[in-house]
Every structure is written in structure tokens, then in C-alpha cells.
């Protein structure tokens, strides 16, 4: 009887415990549901208001903001002051977190909100001083441009104040537990300077060659130069005479992506179906959420322009007005030099120049760090520029490297925003370019009157000595800049007989051009493919232009795969390698996402570089090896022609390099996609997700990122789509695609990946991601009879 009673007690206890567990699970489930619902409505509350009316102080008259179905704001104002105020307000509505991150990165203030992880990055940007030169730039701008910046900043700050008061700042600010500070006119200038930085990057290649000279033989060092310098051995010895541990100094440098470039082209009306010029442009930059561009249409009685702008800057930098259209690619000229500075061993802030010691400027740049003590950081500037070889270290060495760069001088680029918008023909547009200094850019132009034109525009130094291949002595006075290439001598083409002009970051001048532009150009394949297509027939349609922007013909593979296959002929291969080679022989050389051959080829080329350099060159230094692909291409070409260099010879010759790299590439593909080569596809590896910066913190990736999509193309096809080697994630490419037929100046065909809005709950957050991946376009109309009919309307009313 007692045993039965005990069993009942245990049974009742188990039942009670089960009920408690069930009740607890139900409570947890309910809490999760409630939190999810409250989180959902909280996020909805942070969406920008796009309909109705908002009363704001700072406007003179009412402004209408029509957002079309793609989230493009069409801003209608009765005067320029209100127009730029409204642009600042609307841009902040969609992108204020992105704007704040750009200015923090460019000014070296990330650590204030992120913490110690970004200290080295902050130190570097404090050292180069984009924020300092932005303030210096203000004084050289015209009153009208200054007023534009003031009104834009006022619009941004009006939104910030309202969002703070209403408690609906974007969720990113809540997650990072800070609020944005007031936007200033200097911040907008800084955005432009940061774009110049992002499209620069030649000093890293000089630093890399300095590293080579310190660590390798003359023969090995010169084998990796883009061209053989005059007096090569003497150049190498000069670098060795001034030792500095480059690896120690630059291992943590934030380096721009060397693939930052673009495609653009214009066709004359003689080659188009409409009889008017076509213009196409797709700038290649980092691909993330949100996009680096915001598509916008601005209209007032005397100013009408549509296109894209980097959030934080006013106006439109790429696009069209009622008379003309224009596009940009990166020239990539040598506008940066590293100067080797000799420091006074007794006075650390003095440097030698022509036999005398000069006092450098010492600039206090204290860095606030979230959760840590403030860092007492000092920047040293010589006559050549800021010392950047010590940004990661406090100790002073006898030798230092100073950066001289055109963008570190005050420059009036923002003047062109108004001038581009008002230009009616080539002469007026060309005159506007006289204000555009950095980054030096390839502009293509088309006008409704039928002209097409091209100009490489910007400040490009003329050097007394040398060609920017290596760091140069800063104490002799022999390597100073003697001004810039005369403006009238910059490369220019107007209405060529060929009937079209195209650029793709390629070499833009012949060898007889009297001035030095660059040692490093993009691989020639994108430009050659564009030219091949535009020469292929006499007449083109808009659909042809779309097809060309989305073209995935791989001329890189077309050159090298036959060479590789010929070298492997009659060589003993593993069974799977033989299958791969046989399949490569029948490839149409297109980087289509459903094919296996692009996967093999791009792995193969990566592994060739790994075979040659990994384990020999420090991993951190490979990040500074700009132009690596071009150099390796030449190593292969020379070796195939019977003149192998030391890097090829060290690995047993070209055949051994190709064979070893093939095995590694195939093994990598097997590890990722299995042993059946017929199931391998480029798209299973090569995918786009447009990652949000906070998605690196899991599980925030579930909130901010969408599912990945397979993507065709690669870094050397016209349809540009570069990727992270370790994951295959596409993170660089056409940040905006646009095509314009000047027969109808009120329309353009465009796509901004992944969308217009930075708000995760907005319907325009990732709504262009599919079009970007699949090759779709939307029409942006500047005709009010069209965009007003289906748009959301927000009225900004002045506060009287």
C-alpha cells in the first residue's frame, strides 16, 4: 500500500513538472511572439514618412516629394534653397545611418561608437586628414555652392532633430546605442573626399615594391614591377639604403578595392535606332546594403537634373538634365607618391630637406573610444604630406613615409554639381570640368544636339623625376611635383569617326602621349569586349545596350585557357583533372552562373597566384600588391614565350605552375561541390546578398540580409561581379546601371542594387536585388505627368 502511494506521488510530481514545463514553454513562446510583434511594429514605426504632410522650419515655400514605385524621390521646389533643403531632408530619411558611417570612417571617428576594433582604421584616416582638408576647402567655394551646402545640411539636421524627438531613428542607432550628431557643411565636402580616397590607391603599390626591395633579390623584385624602371638596380639599391619595416607598419592599413572602376560608353546618333546618341554607365564599387548611390530627381524653375549621388552630398554627380547626359569611370592615374623622409635623430619632428632640418607640423588628433580611455594621437605632416608609416605605432624611426596626394589639397569639386545641372552643350560641360580635380575621372558625354565626347579630367601631377613606381627620397628636392598636366592637354575626344567612345579603366593614351598618367591599368578585357561589340554592327538598339552591360564573355579565359591546355597536352593528369580539361576545351568562354567552367577557370587563376606567392610574400603584404593580376598575366606570357622569370622558375617552370594550380583548383571545387564535375556551377559559389554592415553580428544577419542569389559575370567581364575568394560572396561590381537614349531626355533605364531605402522594413529596401542579379531595369521618368500618377506624395510645408 505504501509503495502504491509513493508511485502516485511520483506520478503526480512528474505530471506537475510536465505542466510547469508546458506552461513555461507557452509563456516563452508568447513572450517571443509578443517581442516579435512589438519589434515588427517598432521597425515599422522607424520607416520614413513618404505620404501626407510634414511641417518643417527652414523652408521658404512648400516642396512636393513624389516617391515612385522604386523609391526614387522626385523633389519639386520653387527655388534652389528649398530644393537642396528638401534633398538633405529626404536623403536623411532614407540613409542617415549610412551617411553617419561614411563621415565617421572618413574622419576617423568609428571607434567612438564601435570600440577598440576600429582604432587602427581611425588612426589611418586621422593621419591622412580628409576631415582637415574638407574644412580648408570651404573657403575656396563660391557663395552659391556654400549656400547649397548650408541648405542641404539644414535639411539633414531638421530630419535628425525630428527623429530624435519622435524616437524613430533607424534601428541601427538603437542597436549601437548612440544618436547621430549634427550634420555640417564640412561633412558633405568630406563625402566627396572619401570617394576620391576610395578611387585612389596607388601608394600601396609603391609601399609593396619597397617591401619587395627589402626582402627579395633584384631579379625577384623587378619581376613584379608593372614595367621595368630606368636604372632598375639603382632604384632597388636606393630603397634598401633607407630600411623601414613595411609589414610592421602597413599590415593593418584600410586599403581601397583595386577593382573600383567602371564601364561607360556613348554612341553617336548614326549608330542608334533612334538617331540620337545613347549613353551607358555602370560604376563598379562595393556592393552592400544600402547602396553607395541614391537615385534622385531634382527640379526647380531653373534647375532640373536626375541621376545618382552619394548620400551626404547635394545635387547629382552622374546622370542627365534636359539637354545632356554624362557618365564616369575611374582614370586610375598616379596622383599619390610616397616620400622617404629622413628624421632628425635628436628631434623627432624635424626632417631633412636639401641639407637642412625642417620642423614638421604636429597636429593633435585625440581619438574617443567607446568604453575605453581617449587615445592621445598625434599626426605629423612634412612638406610632402602626412606621415602614414607610423599610424599603427607610437615609436619614431629614422626613416618615415609621407603621402603626397592631389586630394589632400583643397579642391572645388562640389562646384560642378550646379554646373552639370545647368550645362546645355559640350562647351558648357567641359568648362564645368575645370572645377573637377579629384578623383581624376573618364567622363563620357552626350547631348541632345547630337554631340558625343570624352575627357580624362582631374589634377594629374607632372614629376621632376621618376614615374611613381617606388617611394622616392624626400630630402633631396629631386622628386618634387612641378605642377599638373595642363588642363588643355588632358586627353579629349569629340565626335570621333568611329561613332562611339568607351572606357573601362583601360590604358587611355598611346605611348607617345607626352605626360605620365599611370603604371597600372585595369586588365584590358572589359574594354576590348565593349569595343568588339560596338564594332560588330552599324546600328544598335536600347536592348543591345542592356545586353552589353550584362555581357559575360570572358576574354581573359579566351586568351589563357588555350595556352594552359596546350601546355598540359600529353601530361599525366589525374582522372578528374583530365575530365575538367576536356570540358574546358568545349567552353564558350562565358561566365554564366549555370556553367562549371567559370568556377574552374577563376579558381585556376587564383591558385596560380597562390602557387607563385603564398608562403614567400607575407600574407599582409599581398593586400598591398596592386595590379597583381596584370603582373601575373605578364609572367605567364613571358614564360610561354620562352623567357620565364625567377618566380616561375622557382616553382619548376610554367608547366609545373599550371599543373599544380589546376590540381589545387579542382580539389577546391570538389570540396565545395562534390566529385561530379557535371554538377558544378559557377552560381552555386558566386552569389550576391548585399550584406548590411551590422549583419556581421549574428543573428542580425537574419534581420538585415536577404537570401543570396546566384550571379553570372566576374571581375573581368563587362557585367562586373567580383567576389570574396573565401566565400564566393559577390561584394563588388555595378553599383548602378543606367542607359539613356537622348531621343527622350525624360527617361532612363536604371537599376540600383539592392534598392533605394536603408530601412529594413521599407518595400524599397531590397526590391531591386532580383533585377540586379537577373539583369532587369526600371524606367525612371522625369515627366511629371508620368511619375506623379502612381507615386506617394509627401508635402514639406514651411513653418510660418
Active site residues: 262
35 Cα distance to chain centroid: 37
Q: What is the largest CA-CA distance in the chain?
A: 111
Sign of CA dihedral 270, 272, 273, 274: negative
3-state secondary structure 110-167: CHHHHCHHHHHHHHHHHHHCHHHHHHHHHHHCCHHHHHHHHHHHHHHHHHHHHHHHHC
Give the span between the Cα atoms of 281 and 549, in whole angstroms. Answer: 8
Would you say 621 and 211 are in contact if contact means Cβ atoms under 8 Å apart? Answer: yes
Residue 494 parent element (H or E):
strand 492-494
Burial class of residue 165 (count of CB atoms within 10 Å of its CB; 0-12, 13-18, 19+): exposed
Would you say 412 and 146 are in contact if contact means Cβ atoms under 8 Å apart? Answer: no
**Annotation-wise, does 538 bind a ligand?**
no
422 to 81, 180, 306, 613: CA distances (angstroms): 16, 34, 12, 52
Instruction: Dump the DSSP string for 249-290.
Output: HHTT-----TT-EEEEEEE-GGGBSSSS-EEEEEEEEE--SS
Give the span between the Cα atoms of 17 and 13, in whole angstroms. Answer: 6
CB atoms within 10 A of CB 538: 8
342 DSSP β-pair partners: 399
What counts of helices (H) and strands (E) characterise the chain?
27, 31
Instruction: Give phi and psi for 775, each to the nearest 5.
Output: 95, 30
3-state secondary structure 570-591: CCCCCHHHHHHHHHHHCCCCEC
Would you say 492 and 513 are in contact if contact means Cβ atoms under 8 Å apart? Answer: no
Q: Is it true that the peptide bond before 439 is cis, omega within 30 degrees of 0?
A: yes
Sign of CA dihedral 22, 24, 25, 30: positive
713 Cα distance to chain centroid: 18
**Annotation-wise, does 346 bind a ligand?**
no
Instruction: Dump the DSSP string for 29-53.
Output: HHHHHHHHHHHHHHHHHTSPP-SEE
Sign of CA dihedral 88, 92, 98, 100: positive
Give the span between the Cα atoms of 601 and 178, in whole angstroms. Answer: 46
Would you say 491 and 601 are in contact if contact means Cβ atoms under 8 Å apart? Answer: no
Give the span between the Cα atoms of 725 and 716, in whole angstroms. Answer: 15
Q: Which residues does 765 contact at the CB level (< 8 Å), separation at least 6?
A: 289, 290, 754, 755, 757, 758, 759
Burial class of residue 54 (count of CB atoms within 10 Å of its CB; 0-12, 13-18, 19+): middle
Residue of 610, 609, 584 lying closest to 597 (CA atoms) = 584
Instruction: Give phi and psi for 793, each to the nearest 5.
Output: -115, 125
Give the span between the Cα atoms of 108 and 130, in whole angstroms. Answer: 9
Binding residues for Ca(2+) are 334, 337
Amino acid at each position: 500500500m505504501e509503495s502504491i502511494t509513493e508511485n502516485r506521488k511520483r506520478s503526480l510530481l512528474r505530471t506537475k513538472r510536465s505542466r510547469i514545463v508546458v506552461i513555461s514553454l507557452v509563456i516563452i513562446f508568447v513572450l517571443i511572439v509578443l517581442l516579435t510583434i512589438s519589434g515588427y511594429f517598432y521597425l515599422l514605426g522607424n520607416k520614413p514618412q513618404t505620404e501626407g504632410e510634414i511641417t518643417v522650419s527652414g523652408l521658404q515655400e512648400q516642396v512636393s516629394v513624389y516617391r515612385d514605385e522604386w523609391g526614387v524621390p522626385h523633389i519639386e521646389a520653387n527655388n534652389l534653397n528649398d530644393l537642396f533643403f528638401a534633398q538633405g531632408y529626404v536623403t536623411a530619411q532614407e540613409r542617415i545611418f549610412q551617411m553617419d558611417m561614411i563621415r565617421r570612417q572618413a574622419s576617423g571617428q568609428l571607434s567612438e561608437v564601435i570600440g577598440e576594433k576600429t582604432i587602427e582604421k581611425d588612426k589611418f584616416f586621422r593621419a591622412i586628414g580628409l576631415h582637415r582638408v574638407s574644412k580648408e576647402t570651404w573657403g575656396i567655394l563660391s557663395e552659391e555652392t556654400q549656400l547649397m551646402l548650408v541648405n542641404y545640411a539644414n535639411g539633414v539636421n531638421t530630419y535628425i532633430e525630428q527623429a530624435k524627438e519622435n524616437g524613430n531613428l533607424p534601428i541601427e542607432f538603437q542597436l549601437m546605442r548612440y544618436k547621430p550628431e549634427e550634420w555640417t557643411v564640412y561633412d558633405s565636402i568630406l563625402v566627396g573626399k572619401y570617394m576620391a580616397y576610395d578611387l585612389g590607391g596607388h601608394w600601396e603599390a609603391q609601399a609593396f615594391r619597397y617591401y619587395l626591395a627589402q626582402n627579395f633579390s633584384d631579379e625577384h623584385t623587378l619581376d613584379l614591377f608593372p614595367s621595368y624602371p630606368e636604372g632598375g638596380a639603382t632604384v632597388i639599391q636606393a630603397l634598401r639604403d633607407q630600411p623601414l619595416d613595411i609589414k610592421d607598419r602597413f599590415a593593418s592599413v584600410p586599403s581601397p578595392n583595386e577593382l573600383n572602376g567602371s564601364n561607360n560608353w556613348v554612341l553617336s546618333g548614326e549608330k542608334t535606332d533612334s538617331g540620337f546618341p545613347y549613353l551607358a554607365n555602370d560604376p563598379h564599387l562595393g556592393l552592400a546594403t544600402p547602396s553607395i548611390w541614391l537615385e534622385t530627381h531634382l527640379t526647380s524653375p531653373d534647375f532640373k537634373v536626375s541621376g545618382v549621388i552619394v548620400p551626404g552630398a547635394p545635387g547629382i554627380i552622374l546622370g542627365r538634365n534636359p539637354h545632356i547626359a554624362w557618365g564616369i569611370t575611374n582614370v586610375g592615374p598616379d596622383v599619390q607618391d610616397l616620400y622617404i623622409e629622413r628624421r632628425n635623430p635628436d628631434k623627432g619632428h624635424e626632417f631633412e630637406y636639401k641639407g637642412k632640418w625642417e620642423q614638421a607640423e604636429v597636429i593633435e588628433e585625440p581619438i574617443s573610444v567607446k568604453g575605453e580611455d581617449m587615445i592621445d594621437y598625434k599626426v605629423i605632416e612634412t612638406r610632402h604630406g602626412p606621415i602614414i608609416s607610423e599610424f599603427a605605432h607610437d615609436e619614431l624611426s629614422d626613416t618615415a613615409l609621407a603621402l603626397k596626394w592631389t586630394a589632400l589639397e583643397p579642391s572645388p569639386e562640389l562646384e560642378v554639381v550646379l554646373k552639370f545641372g545647368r550645362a546645355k552643350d559640350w562647351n558648357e560641360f567641359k568648362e564645368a570640368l575645370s572645377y573637377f580635380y579629384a578623383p581624376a575621372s573618364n567622363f563620357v558625354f552626350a547631348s541632345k544636339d547630337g554631340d558625343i565626347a570624352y575627357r580624362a579630367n582631374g589634377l594629374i601631377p607632372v614629376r621632376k623625376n621618376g614615374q611613381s613606381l617606388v617611394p622616392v627620397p624626400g630630402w633631396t628636392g629631386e622628386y618634387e611635383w612641378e605642377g599638373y598636366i595642363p588642363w588643355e592637354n588632358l586627353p579629349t575626344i569629340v565626335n570621333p569617326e568611329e561613332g562611339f567612345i568607351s572606357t573601362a579603366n583601360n590604358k587611355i593614351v598611346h605611348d607617345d602621349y607626352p605626360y605620365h598618367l599611370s603604371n597600372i591599368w585595369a586588365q584590358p578585357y572589359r574594354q576590348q569586349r565593349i569595343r568588339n561589340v560596338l564594332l560588330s554592327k552599324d546600328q544598335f538598339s536600347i536592348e543591345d545596350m542592356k545586353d552589353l552591360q550584362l555581357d559575360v564573355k570572358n576574354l581573359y579565359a579566351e586568351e589563357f585557357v588555350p595556352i594552359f591546355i596546350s601546355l598540359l597536352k600529353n601530361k599525366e593528369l589525374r582522372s578528374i583533372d583530365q575530365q575538367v580539361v576536356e570540358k574546358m576545351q568545349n567552353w564558350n568562354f562565358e561566365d554564366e552562373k549555370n556553367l562549371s567552367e567559370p568556377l574552374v577557370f577563376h579558381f585556376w587563376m587564383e591558385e596560380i597566384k597562390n602557387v607563385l606567392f603564398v608562403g614567400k610574400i607575407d600574407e599582409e603584404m599581398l593586400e598591398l600588391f596592386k595590379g597583381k593580376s596584370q603582373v601575373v598575366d605578364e609572367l605567364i606570357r613571358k614564360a610561354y614565350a620562352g623567357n620565364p622569370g625567377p618566380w616561375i622558375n622557382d616553382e619548376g617552370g610554367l608547366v609545373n605552375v599550371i599543373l599544380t594550380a589546376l590540381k589545387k583548383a579542382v580539389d577546391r571545387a570538389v570540396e565545395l561541390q562534390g566529385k561530379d564535375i557535371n554538377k558544378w556551377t559557377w552560381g552555386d559559389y558566386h552569389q550576391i546578398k548585399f550584406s548590411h554592415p551590422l549583419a556581421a553580428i549574428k543573428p542580425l544577419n537574419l534581420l538585415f540580409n536577404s537570401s543570396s542569389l546566384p550571379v553570372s559575370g566576374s571581375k573581368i567581364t563587362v557585367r562586373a561581379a567580383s567576389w570574396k575568394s573565401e566565400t564566393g560572396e559577390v561584394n563588388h561590381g555595378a553599383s548602378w546601371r543606367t542607359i539613356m537614349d537622348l531621343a527622350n531626355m525624360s527617361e532612363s533605364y536604371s537599376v540600383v542594387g539592392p534598392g533605394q531605402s536603408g530601412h529594413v522594413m521599407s518595400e524599397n529596401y531590397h526590391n531591386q536585388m532580383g533585377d540586379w542579379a537577373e539583369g532587369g531595369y526600371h524606367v525612371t521618368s522625369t515627366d511629371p505627368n508620368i511619375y506623379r500618377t502612381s507615386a506617394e506624395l509627401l508635402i514639406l510645408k514651411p513653418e510660418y
